[in-house]
Every structure is written in C-alpha cells, then in structure tokens.
Structure 1
Amino acid sequence: MSRELVVHADREALVAETADRFARTVDAVLREQDECHVALTGGSVGTELLGALRGRSLDWSRIHCWWGDERFVPAADGDRNALQAREALLDHVDVPAANVHELPASDAGLDLDAAAQAATAELGDRVLDLVLLGMGPDAHVASLFPGHDGTDAQGVGVIAVRDSPKPPPERLSLTFDALNRARRVWLVVAGDDKASALALAMSTADRHEVPAAGVHGTRETRYLVDRAAASLLPDGMLD
C-alpha cells in the first residue's frame, strides 16, 4: 500500500483542511454502508481537529467513535483523550451514547490488564473505516513507543502499556494488528519538533524503533502535515 503525503501551509490550514477531508470521507463511507467507524486521536492537533469538526454537517447517528489509545486515569481526569474529545466535539453533536466506545478508565472497576481484555473483546475483529493518529517527537503512535514490548503484540486488539516514557505511565493502546486492518489511516502531524520523526516514519525504518513507520491502512495511508513538520523531508518527496 503506497503512502500519500499532503503538506499544508501551516497548522491552521492543516486542521481546517483535514476536517474538510474527514467530512468528505465519512460522507462517502456512509453512502456505501450503514455505519462509519472511526478512531479518534488526542494531542493538541488532534483536539483542534475535533473542534473543527463541530462546524461540519455529518450524520453522527451513523458514526461510531473509538480511540487509538487512552491514558489509564479516572474518567474525569483531564488527561483522558475521551474527555478531551467530548469537550471539543462529542458533547456538541447528536452522537448516540451507544456509538461512543471509550477505552476503560482506571476507576471503572478493572485493573489495567482486565481493561485491555475488555477493550479487546469490545473491538473484536472490527475493521475501522478511518483511524486518526498523531505522532510524537520520538515517532510513537497511539501508545506504541519505540523499543517497548507493545510493538511486538500480536493476536489482540488492545494492550496494556506500563512504564510509558511519556506520562502517565499506564495506558491502553490499539495494537499494530488492530490499526493495520483499518481501511484508512491518517497521521496528522504539525510542528518542527516532529520533523525528524516524520522523516524517519516515511523511510524504511523498523516499526519497533520507529512505530510511525509501521502503521498503514488497507486502502489508504496518508501523512497530513504542516510545512514545519515536513521541513526535513527530501525535496523529491515534496514534489
């Protein structure tokens, strides 16, 4: 599967144009099938993108929302991706509660391993229509970090992550297995602090050392970036 690079003038353009692209893509999916299943992402750019989607006309009654990863903290903790998504978008659109598939919080009565098992069971063998991912300066995606055991996980959809190099230390993450059976995977990346990681991600780097290099969709893989993030890419890649 080939990868497409789309470079936007700046962060503001990246967010606005990706929101438009999201709306067009989801509309197209819903013309072909009854439901559209998307995985949302956290982070500053991801949250800005969700906020931009509030202004787009979408049939949220037919959209199911999942997450690529989650911090294993209490449900009301501001670090939770799901809470940020609710505040930015989901509390402002008519999405049914049954369509929102949050990963378990630490106060849901399950320990980390049981939470991963429950999330794996809920996800099952579902093929997500669209996965949104951010990327860290270390090239991690979801909560799959360079050199961590999670990059080797097979046969499960969601794993428990301990000793994360980025706080909080305990997290839940979709695996490469779950991410890479998605039809469409978009990495949304902004800022010159991500430039080195993006250059590695678009190379032939090993996914254990550069997790962002190991994610792809079965139909499309897109790197949606701003000019700052693309600043270290070779000229031939920008043509």
Structure 2
Amino acid sequence: MPEGWAEKRVIISPDPSALVESVAPRFLSRVAKRVDEGKLAHISLTGGSMGAAVLAAAGRSPRAARIDWSRVHFWWSDERFVPLGDADRNDRQAREAFLDGLDIPAENIHATLGSDDGVELDAAAAAYAEELARFPGAEGAWPSFDVCFLGVGPDGHIASLFPDRAEIQITDRSVVAVRDSPKPPPERITMTRPVINSSKRVWLVLSGADKAAALGLALAGASYASVPAAGAKGRKRTTFFVDEAAAAQVPPELIDREY
C-alpha cells in the first residue's frame, strides 16, 4: 500500500451543472498532458449520474477531438454482474455518454465480463484481475491510474466497497466478487483499496445534500471500514469535487480555491 498520500482537498461548485463543467475540462487537460508527453494514460471510470455527466461534458468539448485516444486506456473501478449491454452496467453508461464518440481502439476499453459470458462471478473477477495485470505499474500488478474517478454513496461507499463488509478490508487481491450487495443489483465486481490507492490522482465527484454527511465523515478522518470514502487516497492528489449542497459539512481549511 502506498505511503505518503497527498492531502485531501475539496473543490466546490455552485450546483451540479457547474460541477460537471468544472471537472470535464480538468479531465481532458490531464489526459492531453500525459499523451502529449508520449506516455500511456490509464483512467479508471465510475458509474452513477455524475460520472456519466462528466463524461458527456468531456465529449462535447472540441478538445476531445484533438487528443490521441489510442494512447489512453479506460477501466472501471466496479461493475454490476449483469448481461453485457444491460442498462445497469457502468460500461454501457460510459460508452453512450463518451466512449462511443471517440476514435479509440476497442482493445483500449477494458470492460469486465458479463453474466451472459458463460462464466461465474468469481471467474469474471479473476479475469479482470488478469487483465489489469497485463499493465503492471510501479505500485503493483495493475496500472497506476492517472485519474481514478469515484462516486460516493450517501452511506460513504466507493466503487462496490460498502461499509462494514469484508471487501473493504481485502488487500491481497486486485479485484474481488461482491455478493448480496446492499445496493442492487446484488452481484458485482470491484477493485480493492490497494488498486484505487495506487492511483496518481483520485477524484471523487459528488453532489446533493444527501451526500453531505458522508463527505463530512470522509474528510474528518472516519474509519475507512465504516466510511469507505475516507480510505480513498491518491498518491499525488486526492480531490473531492462537490457542489454547494454536498459541501455543507466541509471544514473551510480544506477548501482549495486554486486547483
């Protein structure tokens, strides 16, 4: 597990629309910088309405067409174990919002297997771990993501790492199966904390008053076992992009008005 993580910072936008328009250009700038340096960029995506909205805004930007997407690889921190193409799948959401509009090789989009691929849940999780291991980074047998996007649930969960469950404690595997998820659908595949926390930048994007308590606890240093969002930490930056409603319990000293 990496040590010496960057301090958590909070960027506040007035409302969800402004929040989306704040994150999308930062995402494109980060990818463009990496690609322009001749390097590969690995990005971990998340599900949820805000994740899709950020991608859709990025897709609308003229800058997206100027990026060499052949040097960018997309992954998902978690996925619902349902049939390919199902509306519940995070990868379908991302494809419709953004990926389908890119000139990107199909092999650069690393989706998990679906429940209709003829494999069981544990085998699908193992297959995703093997796929990650094809691109080992300095921190482990998985890519060191340039940006790892995460949503945060009202209960403080990230990816499919839910409070007070065994998955949040697992550190000896990169990907695990989730059964009886407290949020439907019940079967899921998720990256573990070591993978998330070996990312260079963890960007948590959340909006709404129902997220305020979870955000406040995450920033106050709550136990990651009970508030998984508290345990999400990038090696270079850990940034919470939030709207005013979600920021009700943010200490003023953590608000970053420069980034």
1:31 maps to 2:48: no
1:21 maps to 2:26: yes
Structure 1, gaps ≥5 residues long: none
Letter in 2 for 1:34: K
Residue of 81, 85, 89 corresponding to 2:94 = 85
Note the C-alpha offset of 1:6. Answer: 0.5
Q: Deviations over 1:69-116 (max 9, x none)?
A: 000000021000001111111111111101000011111111011111
Note the C-alpha offset of 1:186. Answer: 0.3
1-side partners of 2:118 and 2:39: how far apart? 33
Structure 2, gaps ≥5 residues long: 1-5, 134-140
1:107 maps to 2:116: yes
Residue of 40, 47, 50 corresponding to 1:45 = 50
TM-align CA RMSD: 1.2
Note the C-alpha offset of 1:34. Answer: 2.4
| 1:95-134 to 2 correspondences below 5 Å | 95-124=104-133, 125=141, 126-134=143-151
2:155 aligned partner: 138
1-side partners of 2:213 and 2:38: how far apart? 39
| 1:152-171 to 2 correspondences below 5 Å | 152-171=169-188
CA contact (8 A) 2:177 2:189 kept: yes
2-side partners of 1:24 and 1:67: how far apart? 20
Q: Deviations over 1:190-220 (max 9, x none)?
A: 1111000000111111111000000111111
How many residues end up aligned between the 2 structures? 239
1:11 maps to 2:23: no
1-side partners of 2:22 and 2:179: how far apart? 35
1:74 maps to 2:83: yes
Q: Helix, strand or coil for the counterpart of 2:119? A: coil
Q: Helix, strand or coil for the counterpart of 1:54? A: helix
1-side partners of 2:253 and 2:41: how far apart? 35
Letter in 2 for 1:39: S
2-side partners of 1:15 and 1:117: how far apart? 34
Residue of 199, 203, 207 corresponding to 2:224 = 207
1:65 maps to 2:74: yes
Identity of aligned residues (%): 47
1:196 aligned partner: 213
Q: TM-score, normalised by structure 2?
A: 0.89
Q: Deviations over 1:90-146 (max 9, x none)?
A: 111111101000011111111011111111111122211110000000000000000
Q: Helix, strand or coil for the counterpart of 2:212? A: helix
Q: Helix, strand or coil for the counterpart of 1:172? A: strand
2-side partners of 1:92 and 1:233: how far apart? 36
Note the C-alpha offset of 1:42. Answer: 0.8
2-side partners of 1:45 and 1:235: how far apart? 24
Q: TM-score, normalised by structure 1?
A: 0.97
Q: Deviations over 1:143-184 (max 9, x none)?
A: 000011101111211110011000001000010011011111
CA contact (8 A) 2:69 2:102 kept: yes
Q: Helix, strand or coil for the counterpart of 1:222? A: strand
Note the C-alpha offset of 1:28. Answer: 1.5
